[in-house]
């Protein structure tokens, strides 16, 4: 397709202004830090630390004499406690920085909403607290059960509460309660995005309800995936301060996060298919419309993320299992704290690229191309259910294959 043809077919697409690109990317970065880090800490890091402490006690207690068991138990518990302290401190610092990022991003995102509301205003004017307060206090539109500004007022109150809870972890006294603060911030951070999606008027039909559901599923699963990767990369940077036995701990961390990431992949895929169908009327619109081109770039980047995850699951995980079965501490430490994080760094880079592309996915390819509005049907739901089942089966098969490869690697010892 030549340049003139592409320009003609994408005439209905408008590139968002720079301030919109920066505020939207920044907002999702903030959500990735707050939601992704708290969910990942609660679902992978915290339970792995607790499990490692229990395993150390069980191993130490297998000594041949009571005195040997007591001494070995003290050494094992001490090493695990030191590693746990290092990881908790780094986790607390990451969570606190995520709170700062969320607070700053939330302010600029609110300004962006003010700038786009009604007849609009210059973004610089929308940064004024007075303009934002007027927007939040605006009365409800005719037929609305609640004012849109009120919804955003509640959302931003939750955002500030989440950010302050996380920022509190900068204080040494608060870091002693990292687990409690992270668990308290988790539902607050989720509410930040969920509350913003509350409709001010009743959705017109089932499709409108599904749009809300799948949009939030896409956002939450995406930021958990990307934010979790960023947290684990940050924690892996502590490897020089960890003990020689940290490889066992990190093998458990990567295993737990692998399961969490698979759930996120499934949710991103299913919700992404629905949202793509709503806005793209045909495959050719992926390269003949502005919306489609931006979406195509995003799909390629997400495909790279999925490929990297598959590499971790099918190549690295079995080798970690082999080193663990052989009690090869050096190899286990290298794989879990050097090799694995390098791959995850690549995933983080791809994730950041996704967030940079995201603001360009604006409007609808159907509108640009003059295609009819997408309307669901029983046939569509049947096909969607079949695709969801096929996806679940493929992810289950991936887990089983990874386990089989791990057992085969261990059996060759």
Judged against a pLDDT cut of 90, whether residue 155 lies above it is answered with yes
Task: Work out the end-to-end distance of the chain between its first and last CA atoms, rounded to an integer number of angstroms.
Answer: 56
The three-state secondary structure class of 326 is coil
- On whether both 241 and 258 belong to a single domain, the answer is yes
Is 338 part of any domain?
yes
Is 192 part of any domain?
yes
The confidence score (pLDDT) of residue 276 equals 92
- On whether both 302 and 401 belong to a single domain, the answer is yes
- Residue numbers of the domain that contains 273: 202-413
Judged against a pLDDT cut of 70, whether residue 39 lies above it is answered with yes
DSSP class per residue in 44-111: IIHHHHHHHHHHHHHHHTT-SSHHHHHHHHHHHHHHHHHHHHHHHHHHHHHHHHHHHHHHHHHHHHHH
Residue ending a domain, among 140, 169, 200, is 200
Residue ending a domain, among 137, 166, 200, is 200
Is 290 part of any domain?
yes
**Two tokens, residue 166:** 């996380």
- On whether both 82 and 127 belong to a single domain, the answer is yes
- On whether both 221 and 211 belong to a single domain, the answer is yes
The confidence score (pLDDT) of residue 411 equals 54
Number of domains in the chain: 2
- On whether both 211 and 62 belong to a single domain, the answer is no
Residue ending a domain, among 147, 170, 200, is 200
Judged against a pLDDT cut of 50, whether residue 72 lies above it is answered with no
Instruction: Give the residue with greater pLDDT, 355 vs 328.
Output: 355
Mean model confidence pLDDT for the chain: 85
The confidence score (pLDDT) of residue 69 equals 42
How far is residue 316's CA from residue 82's CA, in Å, rounded to a whole number?
27
- On whether both 146 and 249 belong to a single domain, the answer is no
- For residue 343, CA distances in Å to 173, 229, 311, 375 come to 35, 10, 9, 41
**pLDDT, tens digit, 9 for 90 and up, residues 196-241:** 999 999 888 888 999 999 999 999 999 999 999 999 999 988 888 8
Mean pLDDT of 323-332: 74
Is 175 part of any domain?
yes
Judged against a pLDDT cut of 60, whether residue 5 lies above it is answered with no
Ranking 33-42, 237-246, 345-354, 372-381 by mean pLDDT, the lowest is 237-246
**Two tokens, residue 10:** 């994408």
Is 8 part of any domain?
no
The confidence score (pLDDT) of residue 313 equals 78
- On whether both 233 and 96 belong to a single domain, the answer is no
**Two tokens, residue 341:** 């994080």
- On whether both 176 and 265 belong to a single domain, the answer is no
- What confidence category does residue 38 fall into, taking pLDDT thresholds of 50, 70 and 90? very high
- On whether both 371 and 222 belong to a single domain, the answer is yes
Judged against a pLDDT cut of 80, whether residue 290 lies above it is answered with yes
pTM of the model: 0.87
- On whether both 192 and 311 belong to a single domain, the answer is no
The confidence score (pLDDT) of residue 37 equals 95
Judged against a pLDDT cut of 70, whether residue 57 lies above it is answered with no
Is 82 part of any domain?
yes
- On whether both 346 and 400 belong to a single domain, the answer is yes
- What confidence category does residue 61 fall into, taking pLDDT thresholds of 50, 70 and 90? very low
- On whether both 121 and 215 belong to a single domain, the answer is no
Per the rule left: phi > 0, alpha: psi between -120 and 50, beta: everything else, 120 is left
Mean pLDDT of 95-101: 96
Other beta carbons less than 10 A from residue 230's beta carbon: 23
Judged against a pLDDT cut of 90, whether residue 81 lies above it is answered with no
Is 6 part of any domain?
no
Ranking 141-155, 231-245, 356-370, 392-406 by mean pLDDT, the lowest is 392-406
**C-alpha dihedral sign at 66, 72, 76, 82:** positive
Is 152 part of any domain?
yes
The confidence score (pLDDT) of residue 399 equals 72
């Amino acid at each position: 397709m030549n340049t003139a043809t592409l320009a003609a077919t994408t005439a209905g697409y408008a590139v968002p202004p720079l301030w919109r690109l920066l505020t939207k990317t920044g907002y999702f970065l903030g959500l990735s830090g707050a939601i992704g880090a708290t969910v990942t800490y609660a679902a992978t890091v915290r339970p792995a630390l607790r499990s490692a402490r229990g395993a150390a006690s069980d191993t130490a207690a297998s000594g041949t004499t009571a005195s040997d068991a007591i001494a070995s138990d003290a050494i094992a518990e001490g090493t695990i406690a030191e590693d746990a302290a290092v990881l908790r401190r780094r986790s607390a610092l990451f969570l606190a920085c995520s709170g700062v990022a969320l607070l700053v991003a939330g302010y600029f995102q609110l300004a962006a909403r003010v700038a786009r509301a009604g007849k609009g205003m210059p973004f610089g004017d929308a940064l004024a607290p007075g303009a934002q307060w007027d927007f939040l206090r605006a009365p409800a539109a005719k037929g609305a059960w609640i004012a849109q500004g009120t919804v955003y007022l509640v959302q931003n109150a939750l955002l500030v509460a989440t950010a302050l809870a996380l920022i509190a972890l900068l204080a040494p006294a608060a870091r002693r309660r990292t687990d409690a603060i992270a668990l308290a911030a988790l539902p607050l951070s989720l509410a930040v995005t969920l509350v913003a999606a509350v409709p001010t008027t009743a959705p017109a039909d089932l499709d409108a309800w599904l749009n809300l559901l799948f949009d939030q599923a896409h956002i939450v699963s995406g930021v958990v995936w990307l934010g979790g990767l960023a947290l684990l990369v940050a924690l892996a940077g502590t490897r020089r301060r960890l003990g020689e036995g940290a490889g066992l701990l990190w093998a458990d961390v990567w295993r737990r996060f692998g399961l969490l990431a698979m759930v996120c992949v499934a949710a991103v895929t299913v919700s992404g298919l629905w949202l793509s169908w709503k806005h793209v009327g045909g495959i050719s619109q992926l390269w003949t419309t502005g919306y489609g081109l931006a979406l195509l770039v995003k799909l390629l980047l997400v495909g790279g993320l999925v490929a990297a995850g598959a590499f971790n699951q099918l190549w690295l995980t079995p080798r970690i299992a082999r080193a663990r079965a052989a009690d090869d501490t050096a190899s286990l430490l290298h794989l879990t704290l050097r090799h694995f994080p390098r791959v995850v760094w690549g995933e983080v880079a791809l994730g950041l690229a996704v967030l940079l592309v995201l603001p360009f996915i604006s409007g609808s390819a159907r509108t640009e191309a003059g295609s009819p509005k997408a309307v669901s049907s029983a046939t569509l739901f049947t096909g969607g259910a079949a695709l969801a089942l096929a996806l679940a089966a493929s992810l289950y098969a991936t887990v089983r294959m990874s386990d089989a490869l791990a057992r085969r690697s261990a059996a060759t010892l």
